[in-house]
């Protein structure tokens, strides 16, 4: 009797030891973060910061692998891959969610935001926060906005007034709003992946493109585009996105810690974006490879007048009340 009791106790102890050992040894939750830009950009640095913070705060429980430069997926495939569980985190430009929600198209409306402070105010306000959840039913959750900055237009000939863009081919992100913006000045927009832009410009298959200073610098577009018009006509920001299934499947004690690390990494990335916009613009000037064209007030007004009719074309889809809220953020 005593023997069998001792045996039972030893068995229970052994099972407990094996169980705790296997918990201790169980593999950490893997978060693959895929993006398309270089590591020295705001998004690249934000992603690396997130990995660093997770390594410091959740070592052994969560591990992050970052894949920059479209190494794992381009933005055209990343959301499908996320739905299949092949990647857990991405931060595509807001322009690239058109297939999933019309509301985020607001960020593509030309000359909507005066500056990045207005963008930040709108994103952190009630409308911007509500939009984070606009794809929940489709299986995606927005975890936060990340800034890159205001966009400029580069070309192989000088662009001062809208007529200079007529019949020229411009690469755009996959957004009908951006297509309408170029059509409004008689240009020809082409939706192409970011990874193809340099070659398209270099081979002169296209005449120009629009992007932020950090993307124009880090991807060397300025080396193959002799003119950059400083239009500040639109914003290029990102939605840090995950799949609802992955996010809700995280253990309750882990999810808030991952969220906090993301928030801290986004704050870091936003700081980088503000500094890089200025620094990379200067590096381009110093390179003497590309002339930066500054518009007079009258010239800029011509671009605004030509492109602003795009707003009313998309107001029904996006929602006039959202556009009004965005305009109000300029004050
Ligand atoms: C990005 O900044 O993630 C890419 C932007 C683009 O496709 O032009």
14-51 pLDDT per residue, tens:
544 444 444 456 899 999 999 999 999 999 999 999 99
End-to-end, the C-alpha distance of the chain in Å comes to 84
Span from the CA of 273 to the centroid of ligand 1 (angstroms): 14
Mean pLDDT of 1-23: 51
> CB of 211 closer than 6 A to ligand 1?
yes
pTM (two decimals):
0.91
How far, in Å, CA of 218 to CA of 232, rounded?
A: 18
Enumerate residues 6+ apart whose C-beta is below 8 A from 42: 146, 147, 148, 149, 214, 269, 270, 272, 273, 276
Domain count, the chain: 1
- Whether 269 is covered by a domain: the verdict is yes
How far, in Å, CA of 307 to CA of 314, rounded?
A: 12
Span from the CA of 3 to the centroid of ligand 1 (angstroms): 71
291: left (phi over 0), alpha (psi -120 to 50) or beta: beta
Mean pLDDT of 159-182: 98
**Residue 174 near residue 153 (C-beta atoms within 8 A):** no
Residue nearest to ligand 1 atom 4, measured at CA: 194
Residue nearest to ligand 1 atom 6, measured at CA: 194
- Whether 172 is covered by a domain: the verdict is yes
Which structural domain, as residue segments, surrounds residue 104? 93-328
In this predicted structure, the answer to whether residue 278 has a pLDDT above a threshold of 50 is yes
> CB of 93 closer than 6 A to ligand 1?
yes
Mean pLDDT of 111-115: 98
**Residue 218 near residue 40 (C-beta atoms within 8 A):** yes
Question: What CATH number did the domain enclosing 260 receive?
Answer: 3.40.190.170
- Whether 22 is covered by a domain: the verdict is no
- Whether 44 is covered by a domain: the verdict is no
> CB of 303 closer than 6 A to ligand 1?
no
As beta bridge partners, residue 169 has 188
- Whether 39 is covered by a domain: the verdict is no
């Amino acid at each position: 009797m005593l023997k069998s009791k001792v045996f039972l106790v030893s068995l229970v102890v052994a099972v407990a030891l094996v169980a705790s050992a296997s918990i201790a040894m169980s593999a950490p939750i893997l978060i693959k973060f895929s993006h398309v830009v270089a590591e020295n950009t705001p998004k690249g640095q934000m992603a690396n910061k997130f990995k660093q913070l997770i390594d410091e705060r959740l070592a052994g429980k969560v591990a992050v692998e970052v894949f920059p430069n479209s190494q794992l997926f381009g933005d055209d495939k990343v959301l499908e891959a996320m739905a299949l569980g092949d990647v857990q985190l991405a931060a595509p430009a807001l322009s690239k969610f058109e297939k999933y929600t019309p509301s985020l198209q607001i960020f593509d409306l030309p000359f909507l935001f005066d500056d990045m402070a207005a963008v930040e105010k709108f994103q952190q306000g009630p409308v911007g926060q509500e939009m984070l959840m606009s794809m929940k039913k489709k299986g995606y959750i927005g975890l936060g906005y990340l800034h890159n900055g205001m966009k400029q237009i580069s070309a192989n000939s000088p662009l001062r007034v809208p007529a200079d863009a007529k019949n020229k081919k411009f690469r755009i992100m996959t957004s009908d709003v951006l297509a309408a913006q170029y059509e409004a000045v008689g240009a020809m927009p082409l939706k192409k992946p970011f990874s193809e832009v340099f070659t398209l410009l270099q081979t002169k298959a296209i005449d120009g493109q629009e992007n932020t200073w950090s993307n124009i610098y880090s991807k060397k577009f300025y080396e193959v585009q002799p003119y950059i018009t400083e239009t500040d006509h639109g914003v290029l920001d990102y939605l840090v996105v995950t799949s609802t299934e992955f996010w809700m499947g995280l253990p309750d004690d882990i999810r808030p810690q991952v969220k906090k690390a993301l928030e801290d990494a986004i704050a870091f990335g936003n700081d980088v974006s503000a500094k890089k916009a200025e620094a990379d613009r200067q590096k381009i000037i110093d390179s003497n490879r590309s002339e930066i064209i500054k518009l007079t007030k009258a010239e800029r007004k011509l671009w605004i007048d030509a492109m602003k009719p795009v707003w009313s074309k998309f107001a029904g889809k996006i929602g006039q009340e959202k556009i009004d809220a965005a305009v109000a953020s300029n004050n």
